[in-house]
């Protein structure tokens, strides 16, 4: 006997900087958006190219510092929860904003700004601001040129205040990226947990279906061998031979199926025909079978051998315990566009309310309880299992389930 072991694939190992492609794309996208706002603003000025070139140092320095924020979050907070990552991101953003402002203050004076601003004062003067100089053009007078003090020429307090004011502006920029990055991480973790829960639920369901299916095989084999033994002991060797041929075909077909796989309704009915052929060898005069399945439901999917315990019970409690001819009927029909019902019933062929014992789930513990559990494991709350005596005599089991035409992967 071949034993197939089903193993879950090992979870993907998450390294400290495994999400660097996302970080790089988000950083570049963030500062690209900043550059776009600079371009839009520069288009309002006559010297747009100069305005854009002056901001290149801001964009380059901002990209580098934002990447260091990512290193802090991913390096220090990789194994931490979202709350601690948020604290780390906030501290890193404050340090980054101060570094950005301090870095720009060091470049001040070393890079000449090419952007020019012109203002028309109310007094009629034209004020021109360019490259740290303010020029006031006056009518019939020489222009007045004012040179603003550079950062290195300011006092310590004023220099710190300028850096602090600039840092506050950049702080919101860095915190905005940090919030986006942490939100993305939180979403990825939530999706990962949801995916693992779904995988665990699917694995548990598959294990349950296999366990329930494995209960059917020995139960059916025991009943069939018991019937075969009865034929041999009573000298009905021709019927025993017919039963053996049908039995070999049935087991060759049923045991080749995956215990957790679905089959079409037509395939399930064919399996039950094989089983009923076996039982007809035992009860040639007391067993009549009718099957009615509409063509549009032939390919509807259902768990393999789901009807087996029901048909067995119909034989065990109907045919074998009655001296009259019994009709076993299997039919299926649409309830609506999305559901179908499959029914198995046994009653006296010629009518009447002669007592036919109920097909209970007592005895071996297999039977109807197994069917209902498998149906619930496969379809959940979208399926139902009902059974009980019929008003005109006999017993009926009704299985309601969704109509699925495509096989599961």
Beta bridge partners of 144: 136
Are 70 and 103 members of one domain? yes
Confidence bin at 203 (pLDDT 50/70/90): low
Are 208 and 305 members of one domain? no
Q: Does 292 score more than 90 pLDDT?
A: yes
Confidence bin at 271 (pLDDT 50/70/90): confident
| Number of domains making up the chain | 3
116-120 and 126-130: which strand pairing?
antiparallel
Q: Where are the alpha helices (DSSP H) in 3-149?
A: 20-42, 48-54, 56-76, 82-107
Residue 78 in domain:
yes
> Could you give the percent of the chain with pLDDT greater than 70?
75
Are 396 and 343 members of one domain? yes
Residue 258 in domain:
yes
Rounded distance, CA 148 to CA 113, Å? 13
Rounded distance, CA 204 to CA 296, Å? 32
Q: Do residues 307 and 374 touch, judged by C-beta distance below 8 A?
A: no
As separate numbers, helices (DSSP H) first and strands (DSSP E) second, the chain gives: 9, 11
CA dihedral 194, 197, 199, 201 (to 10 degrees): -140
Are 143 and 70 members of one domain? no
Are 143 and 56 members of one domain? no
Residue 84 in domain:
yes
Are 163 and 246 members of one domain? no
Q: Do residues 328 and 311 touch, judged by C-beta distance below 8 A?
A: yes
Min mean pLDDT across 169-178, 250-259, 307-316 is at 250-259
Residue 224 in domain:
no
pTM above 0.75, yes or no: no
pLDDT tens per residue, range 371-403: 888 888 888 888 999 999 988 888 999 999 999
Q: Do residues 51 and 45 touch, judged by C-beta distance below 8 A?
A: yes
Q: Residue 388: how many CA atoms within 13 Å on its side-chain side?
A: 3
396 Cβ contact list (under 8 Å, min separation 6): 343, 344, 345, 387, 388, 389, 390
Are 37 and 132 members of one domain? no
Rounded distance, CA 360 to CA 389, Å? 11
286 Cβ contact list (under 8 Å, min separation 6): 319, 322, 323, 324, 325, 326
- Which residue segment(s) compose the domain that 286 sits in? 236-402
Rounded distance, CA 303 to CA 299, Å? 13
Rounded distance, CA 136 to CA 121, Å? 9
In 3D, which of 4, 14, 388 has the Cα closest to residue 188?
14
């Amino acid at each position: 006997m071949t034993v197939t072991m089903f193993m879950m694939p090992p979870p993907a190992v998450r390294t400290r900087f495994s999400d660097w492609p996302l970080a790089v794309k988000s950083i570049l996208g963030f500062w690209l958006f900043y550059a776009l706002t600079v371009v839009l603003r520069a288009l309002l000025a006559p010297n747009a190219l100069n305005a854009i070139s002056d901001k290149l140092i801001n964009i380059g320095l901002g990209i580098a510092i934002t990447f260091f924020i990512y290193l802090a979050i991913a390096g220090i907070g990789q194994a931490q929860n979202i709350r601690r990552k948020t604290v780390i991101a906030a501290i890193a953003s404050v340090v980054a904003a101060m570094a950005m402002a301090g870095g720009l203050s060091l470049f001040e004076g070393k890079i000449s700004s090419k952007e020019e601003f012109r203002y028309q004062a109310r007094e009629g003067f034209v004020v021109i601001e360019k490259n740290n100089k303010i020029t006031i053009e006056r009518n019939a007078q020489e222009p007045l040129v004012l040179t603003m003090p550079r950062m290195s020429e300011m006092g310590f307090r004023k220099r710190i205040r300028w850096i602090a004011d600039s840092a506050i502006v950049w702080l919101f920029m860095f915190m905005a990226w940090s919030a986006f990055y942490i939100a993305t991480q939180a979403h990825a973790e939530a999706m990962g947990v949801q995916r693992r829960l779904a995988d665990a639920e699917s694995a548990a369901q598959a294990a349950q279906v296999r366990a329930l299916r494995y209960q059917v095989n020995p139960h059916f084999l025991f009943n069939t061998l018991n019937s075969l033994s009865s034929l041999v002991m009573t000298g009905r060797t021709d019927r025993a031979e017919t039963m053996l041929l049908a039995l070999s075909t049935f087991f060759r077909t049923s045991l080749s199926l995956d215990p957790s796989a679905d089959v079409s309704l037509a395939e399930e009915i064919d399996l039950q025909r094989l089983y009923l052929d076996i039982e007809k060898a035992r009860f040639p005069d007391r067993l009549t079978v009718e099957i009615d399945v509409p063509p549009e439901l032939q390919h509807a999917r259902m768990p393999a051998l789901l009807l087996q315990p029901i048909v067995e019970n119909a034989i065990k409690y109907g045919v074998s315990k009655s001296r009259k001819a019994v009709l076993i009927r299997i039919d299926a029909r649409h309830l609506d566009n999305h559901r179908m019902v499959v029914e198995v019933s046994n009653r006296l062929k010629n009518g009447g309310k002669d007592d036919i014992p109920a097909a209970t789930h007592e005895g071996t513990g297999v039977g109807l309880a197994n069917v209902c559990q498998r149906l619930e494991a496969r379809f959940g709350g979208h399926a139902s299992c009902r059974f009980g005596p019929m008003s005109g005599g006999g017993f009926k089991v009704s299985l309601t389930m969704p109509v699925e035409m495509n096989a599961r992967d």
